[in-house]
Structure 1
Amino acid sequence: MTQANSTASESIRIHLVDGVSGPACPFQPACDLELGLAEGFATAELVHFKPGLSLLRIRVAEDAPVLPRLDFGGNYLLTGFIHSGSAVFHFSNGHRHAGNIHEWFQFHCESLEIEGHRGQKLEWAGLLCTDEALSSLLAIEHPGGTPAEIQSNGSISGGVLNTGQRELAHQIIRLPAQGLGSRLHLEGTSLTWLAEQLFRPTGSQNVPAINAQDRDTLEDVAAYLGDTLDADHSIASLALRFGLNESKLKQGFKSQFERTVFGYLRELRMERAKSFLRQDRMSVIEVANAVGYSNASHFARAFKEHTGLLPKGFQCLHRAR
């Protein structure tokens, strides 16, 4: 049976069931790990799915002290994600990784220390997989062996979760481990998420990780767009102005604001146009120019797609009120 024992005040030893052979016990109860902290500071839950594969879920309060080191008792592939908050992960052999909300990472390690940020709640989950279990999973997709990018080469891979992965991550954090139906749902969702990470298309690029400074910069980009609706913008000019590479600007912005740079800009322009038209002090052409459209027809089409009405119709409707 899966257990967790405290071996020292600053270290927690996690006992995992290894190997893909041996007695099958797929429905062992979830194990609440005793972290040695006062009640309410943090919770940790270990859910054993099958030999060599377990899920670890950790929630940390805003004012929690430093968590103890988690010792896995062997080398595991850890594939984890942050659902809320941010943290620095310290792995065995001195490796470290700074992670933020909606980011994932993957690394082979024997132990883990999680350093949360004061004033932030942290919700994190990770799947621990032995090399033997990993080989069995990968044989489904890669009969010839383990892909080079996930062999034990000491490197950390990671990036930003896409929309589908983010939804799976949310379910992994929220689904209960008690009850047969919930347990099967949690295991299936976790395996689906793991497959997304293990079987990324060959040649696909990881989304660049976004740190706290990058997030502040992206907020500045969003504010700048709101202040310059009448200007011509391009990804290249915005990246140059704010000191970001174009990939981080595009992908980081979409991750942070859940829309593309130009989708966000267009929404701002349409909302500002609605405000101008309600005031009824400007012609439609003047409104179009004020929100960055030099072509009135293009503005009218965009406005109708956003509101369902042509600009003139929208203006007349509010004038009648």
Structure 2
Amino acid sequence: MTAQKNTAIGLDSVRDFSTLGSEQKERLFRSMWQEYRVRPGMCVSVFDAQLQEDFTFCYRKENRFMDFGFFLEGAFANDLRKTPIGRLNLENRAGEGGMGFFREIEGTVTIPAGKKTRLIHVHVLPDVLRSLLEQDMETVHPELRGALEPREGNDFYRRRCLQPMVQAVANELFFGVRNNFGVRMYMEGKVLELLGLFLAEGGNPAADKKAALSPRERDVIHAIRAELEERYASPPTLAEIAARHHMGVSKVQAGFRAVFGMSVFNFLKEYKLQKAKMLFDEGDMNVSEVAWTIGYINLSHFGAAFRKRFGVLPKAYHKSIRARAHGVGHGRA
């Protein structure tokens, strides 16, 4: 397959639209897909859609890039029928992320109607990522480290839940691309920040083993996290969570620290504040609406917590986002 040249990013496009099967699908996909060149050998793509009917398309490609995906909103199925490591049937959901490298890939994507779907990918050539990591090479996941070696047979794929901070940075980068924020230094900084955070939290594949968690117990810990993310504005108590999932309170706490690196309380607090930051970035709510949405009744308490976490009051942050969207830096780089 020969990739189409994308003059907007200055290197081969990561998406060849000619494989979608029809001109109608090609036009629809182009309206939802956007690419941004960060530097030679590195680009970002965003997908932003709310469809009135299910959208299914098949694709195939020969790939030179390592891909890092961050699912911000919605869900969709990706049936990877042909990869060098076998068939993978992926159900991608908001709050999950993955990294992989497949030299050849073929599959089918199904995006459901009726729900907003947002995701962002960072695409990096192996040589570029290797030069960025340099002294940090030993800290990344062994499979990624192996894929950076110049040899055949090192294709891989890994997926995991995203920490709230990673989700927040991915969201900032998403809106930077979608809103055509034109300061290249800011955009490149966000990409490097996102990759750094994502790789740092996934560098130790033995992290779960430290808590002596069985596979079933790790699944329970992930299910508890999903429940907290769904009910973050009015969360259940730790005792209620433990009882519902048939796990002791101390085991829940220990498991959370092992899998996600923080206590249940700190995870929930961080998730709520990062959610507030995302809502401000989206630009549709004022300070009071954001506070109430994430479960703060007292605006002073919300302001103090936001300032302690991000170093700025919510009102000032909201004002800076509005100024950026309507003036400073507006225009495609």
TM-score interval, normalised by the smaller of the two chains: 0.5 to 0.7
Matches for 1:148-297 after TM superposition, within 5 Å: 148-150=142-144, 151-152=146-147, 153-176=154-177, 181-200=182-201, 202-203=203-204, 205=207, 215=226, 225=236, 233=239, 236-240=242-246, 246=252, 247=255, 258-259=268-269
C-alpha distance in structure 1 between counterparts of 2:136 and 2:48, whole Å: 33
- Where 1:171 maps in the other structure, the secondary structure is helix
Is contact 1:77-1:129 (8 Å) kept? yes
- For 1:85-100, list aligned pairs within 5 A: 85-91=74-80, 92-93=82-83, 94-100=87-93
Please tell me the residue identity of whatever aligns with 1:90: D
Q: Which runs of 5 or more residues in structure 2 are unaligned?
A: 1-9, 148-153, 209-217, 271-300, 302-333
Match of 1:105 among 92, 98, 110: 98
Let me know the Cα RMSD of the aligned residues. 4.7
Match of 1:240, SS state, is: coil
Residues 106 and 158 in structure 1, CA contact (< 8 A), matched pair in contact too? yes
Note the alpha carbon deviations across 1:79-115, whole angstroms, 9 max, x for none: 1111111122334412232221122111112446532
Cα contact 1:87–1:100 (8 A) shared by 2: yes
2:128 aligned residue: 133
TM-score normalised by the chain length of structure 1: 0.55
**Secondary structure of the structure 2 residue equivalent to 1:7:** helix
Cα offset, 1:147, TM superposition: 4.9
Paired residue type of 2:142: A
Cα separation, partners in 2 of 1:239 and 1:71, compared to 1, 3 Å = same
Distance 2:264 2:54 in 1: 33
SS in 2 for 1:189: helix
How far apart in 2 are the matches of 1:6 and 1:127? 18
What amino acid is the match of 1:121?
A: K
Structure 2 counterpart of 1:10, from 15, 21, 34? 21
The percentage of aligned residue pairs carrying the same residue is 14
**Aligned-residue offset at 1:212:** 9.4
Post-superposition offset of 1:38: 4.2
* CA distance 1:188–1:36, shift in 2 (3 Å): same
* Distance in structure 2 (CA, Å) of the matches to 1:95 and 1:119: 26
Give the superposition deviation at 1:45.
Answer: 0.9
Three-state SS of the structure 1 residue aligned to 2:55 is: coil
Q: Is the 8 A contact 2:66 2:100 kept in 1?
A: yes
Work out the CA distance in 1 between the residues paired with 2:181 and 2:228: 46
Q: Who is 1:30 aligned against? A: none
Other structure's SS at 1:199 match: helix
CA contact (8 A) 1:42 1:64 kept: no
Q: For the residues of structure 1 that align with 2:77 and 2:120, how far apart are their CA atoms?
A: 14
What are structure 1's unaligned runs of at least 5 residues? Answer: 13-33, 227-231, 261-305, 307-321
CA distance 1:223–1:105, change in 2 (3 Å): same
State the shift of 1:195 in Å.
Answer: 1.6
- Superposed CA offset, 1:177-215 (max 9, x none): 787843332221012101222233743648969999995
Quick one: distance in 1 between partners of 2:20 and 2:232?
Answer: 45
- With 48-57 and 149-158 compared, the bigger mean Cα shift is at 149-158
The Cα shift of 1:123 comes to: 0.4
The alpha carbon displacement at 1:135 in A equals 1.7
Question: TM-score when scaled to structure 2?
Answer: 0.53
SS in 2 for 1:96: strand
Higher helix proportion: 2
Name the CA distance, whole Å, in 2 between partners of 1:210 and 1:99: 18
> Looking at CA atoms only, which structure, 1 or 2, has the larger radius of gyration?
1
